[in-house]
Amino acid sequence: MYSENHFNSIDWRELPPAPPDGEPDRQYYFMARCRRKVEEFERENGRRPTANVTTFGCQMNARDSEKLAGILRAVGYEIVGTEDADFVIYNTCTVRDNANQKVYGRLGVLNGYKRRNPRMKIALCGCMMQEPEVLEKIRASYRFVDLIFGTHNLFKFAELLDTVLEEQGRVVDLWKDTDQIVEELPVERKYPFKSGINIMFGCDNFCSYCIVPYVRGRERSRQPEEILREIRRLAEDGVVEVMLLGQNVNSYGKGLERPLSFAELLREVEKIEGIRRIRFMTSHPKDLSDELIAVMRDSEKICHHLHLPLQSGSTRILRAMNRRYTKEQYLELAEKLRREIPDIAITTDIIIGFPGETMEDVEETLDVIRRVRFDNAFTFLYSKRTGTPAASMENQVPEEQARAGFDRVLKLVQETAREQTARWQGQVCEVLVEGQNESDPSLVTGRMSNNTLVHFPGGRELIGQLVPVSLEECCGFYYLGHRRETV
C-alpha cells in the first residue's frame, strides 16, 4: 500500500500503466504521475511551478484547503500567496449570495493573469460547485476555468490534477453525494501548532434557509479511532490546539457501528498527551446535552468557549426556520452554561430578514441578546438560496426593512460584546501565541481560552507557546497586555 511516508520512495519512472484499486493508494499513484509532470515543467522553465489555494467560507473549507495544498506541495508545487501563479484553485462557499459574487468577481482577475501566462491552470471546487446553476453559468461565461469538482470527491484531487495537466480542455467531475470517507492523504497545515480535524461531514438538519445540507450531503461521522489516531499524530508533530469540526458536532456518533456520543469522544481526545487545548465547532442548541456541559466544566483542556448559533430569538421564526428549539429553551440552555461554567464565552450567529420576520420578531432577538449577553456574534442579512424551502416562502422581507433590523441587532451585539470582553480586565490568563502582530512587529498576538484576542510585547520565538499574560487594557474586542511568569 502507498502512504504518505512511502510516497517519497515510489519510483515514478517505473509506474505501472494502471492505477491500483482502492483508496488512498489510487491517489498516491496519481500524485506520483503529477510529480513527473511537475519535474518536466521544472526542466523546461528552470523553476518549480507555483500554486495558490484560496479559501472562501467556513472552517471546514479551510481544512479542505489544507488537504489541497498538501497534495500540491507533495507533487512538487511551490505554494504561494499570490494568485498570479501557475495553478490556482478557489475552494468556494455558497452559504450566502455574497460569497458567490466574490468568486465571480475574482475570476475576472484570474483571467487577466491567465492571458499573460497561457500555461496557467484555474480550478474551482467546494460548495458552490455542487449547485447545478453555478456549473451552467461557469460553463457558459467562464470558459477559461480548467477544472471543476465538488465537495464529495475532494479526495480525488490528485487524480483530477493529473488529468488536467495531461489534457487540453476542461475537466468536470461532480458527484451528487457520497458515503465514502477517504483518509490518509497529505495535509499542509496553515499553523504548525494548531489544527482543525473533521469529525463528521454533511448535515441532516435542513434548517429551511440553509443550503449546506444540499451541497455537503448527508451527515456521516468518522470512526473515533481514525479521529484519535489523527490527533495523536498531530500532537507528535507539535500541535497543541485542536478544533473538532462538523456542522453539528453535538450529534456526532449517530450511525456508527458502536455509537459514541460527542461528549465521550471529547473525553478520549482529552487523554492525548501533548494536546493542551480542545475547541469544537459548530454546536446546534437542540442537541447540546447536559453530559457535554459537564465534560466541558470538568475538563482541563476544553476551551471555555461555545459557539451556539441562535439564528433568531423569535419562537415563531425559529419554527419556520426548522431549528427545533424555542426562545425559552435557548435562554435556559445559555443560563445553564453560564451557571456551570462561569467564565465561558458564548458566541452566536444571527440571521435578520428571514421570510415573515416582523419588527416584533426582531425585538425578541434583541431581548435574547440582552439576556444572554453574547461575547461575540456574527450577524447576517438573510440570503435567499435556490432550492431551500425558505426561498419559496411568499412573505420575503423587503431589503430596507431587513437592513433596519440588522442595524439595530448589530449595534446591540457590539455593545454587549464590548462589555463582555471587558470582564477580564486586570486578570492574568493563558494565551496561545499565534503570530506576530501585523501592524506592530514588536507585539505578538494570541488567543485566550475563551477565544478573545490579546496583543503583547514579545518575539517570534513565542509563536505556538502558551504563555501567561496580564490583561491590562481592554480595547473593544481585544486586549493589550504584558507577559507574566505565572497565571
**CB closer to ligand F3S, 151 vs 416:** 151
Given the C-alpha cell 424555542, which residue does it identify?
Answer: 326
> CA-to-CA distance for 129 and 104, rounded, in angstroms?
12
Instruction: Give the residue, chosen from 53, 210, 306, 345, that forms a contact with ligand SF4 under the rule CB under 6 A.
Output: 210
Of 203, 227, 245, 278, the one binding ligand SF4 (CB under 6 A) is 203
Stretch that binds ligand F3S, among 44-52, 56-64, 396-404, 408-416 (CB under 6 A): 56-64
> Exposed (0-12), middle (13-18) or buried (19+): which is 16, by Cβ within 10 Å?
exposed
**Three cell numbers, residue 55:** 479559501
- Which of 63, 67, 96, 156 binds ligand SAH (CB under 6 A)? It is 96
Q: Least separation, in Å, of the C-beta of 180 and ligand SAH?
A: 22
Q: Of 159, 108, 171, 167, nearest to 135 (Cα)? A: 171
Contact at 8 Å (CB) between 189 and 73? no
Query: Rg of the chain over CA atoms, in angstroms?
Result: 24
Find the shortest distance in angstroms from Cβ 196 to ligand SAH.
Answer: 15
Q: Which is nearer to ligand SAH, 238 or 389 (CB)?
A: 389
Return the closest-CA partner of residue 285 out of 319, 321, 334.
Answer: 334
**Please, what is the minimum distance in Å from the beta carbon of residue 247 to ligand SF4?**
4
Distance CA(317)–CA(88), nearest Å, equals 41
Residue 312 interface partner, choices ligand SF4, ligand F3S, ligand SAH, none, CB cut-off 5-8 Å depending on type: none
Residue 60, binding choice from ligand F3S, ligand SF4, ligand SAH, none, Cβ under 5 to 8 Å by partner class: ligand F3S
CA atoms within 13 A on the CB side of 76: 20
Region near ligand F3S per CB under 6 A, out of 55-63, 333-341, 357-365, 368-376: 55-63
Instruction: Name residues contacting ligand SAH, limited to 342-401 (CB under 6 A).
Output: 349, 351, 380, 382-383, 385
Q: Please state, as a whole number, how many other Cβ atoms lie within 10 Å of the Cβ of residue 94.
A: 24
- In the region spanning residues 237 to 266, those forming contacts with ligand SF4, defined by CB under 6 A, are 247-248
Q: Grid coordinates standing for 72?
A: 500540491
| CA–CA dist 350, 314 (Å, integer) | 11
Give least dist CB 60 to ligand F3S, A: 5
Q: Is 58 in the site for ligand F3S (CB under 6 A)?
A: yes
Among 42, 167, 192, 206, binds ligand SF4 (CB under 6 A): 206
Provide the edge-to-edge strand list for the sheet that holds 345-352.
305-307, 345-352, 376-381
Strand partners, 428: 470
Q: Does 247 bind ligand SAH (CB under 6 A)?
A: yes
Residue 383: name its binding partner from ligand SAH, ligand F3S, ligand SF4, none (Cβ under 5 to 8 Å by kind). ligand SAH
Handedness of CA 334, 337, 338, 344 (dihedral sign): negative
**194-198 β-sheet, strand order:** 194-198, 241-245, 277-281
53 forms part of the interface with ligand F3S (CB under 6 A): no
**Whether 444 contacts 436, CB under 8 Å:** yes
Query: Which residue of 53, 120, 212, 295 would you call a contact of ligand F3S, by CB under 6 A?
Result: 212
> Which of ligand SF4, ligand F3S, ligand SAH, none lies near 93, with the C-beta cut-off 5 to 8 A by kind?
ligand F3S
Minimum distance from residue 119 beta carbon to ligand SF4 (Å): 39
Q: Which residue has the cell 466541558?
A: 296
Q: Which of 20, 213, 238, 389 binds ligand SF4 (CB under 6 A)?
A: 213
Contact partners, residue 62, CB within 8 Å, separation at least 6: 55, 190, 196
- Name the residue with cell 466544566: 297
305 near ligand SAH, rule: CB under 6 A: no
Q: Which partner in ligand SAH, ligand SF4, ligand F3S, none is near 349 (CB below 5 to 8 A by kind)?
A: ligand SAH
Q: Which of residues 266-285 bind ligand SF4 (CB under 6 A)?
A: 284
> What cell does 146 get?
480548467
Task: Characterize 30-67 residue by residue with b for buried, 16 or more Cβ atoms within 10 angstroms of its Cβ, and e for exposed.
Answer: bbbbbbebbeebeeeeeeebbbbbebbbbbbbbbbbbb
Note if the bond before 282 is cis, omega within 30 degrees.
Answer: yes
Count CB neighbours of 202 within 10 A. 21
Which one of ligand SF4, ligand F3S, ligand SAH, none is in contact with 33 (Cβ closer than 5 to 8 A by kind)?
none
Q: With contacts defined by CB under 6 A, name the span among 5-13, 24-32, 209-217, 440-448 that binds ligand F3S.
A: 209-217
Our finding on whether 147 is near ligand SF4 (CB under 6 A) is no
Which lies closer to ligand SAH via its Cβ, residue 35 or residue 385? 385
Three-class secondary structure of residue 430 per DSSP: strand
**Residues in touch with ligand F3S (CB under 6 A):** 57-58, 60-61, 93-95, 127, 212, 215-216
Q: Which residues bind ligand SAH (CB under 6 A)?
A: 95-96, 209-210, 212, 247-248, 282, 284, 309, 311, 349, 351, 380, 382-383, 385
**Using CB under 6 A as the criterion, which residues of the chain lie in contact with ligand SF4 when the complex forms?**
203, 205-207, 210, 212-213, 247-248, 284
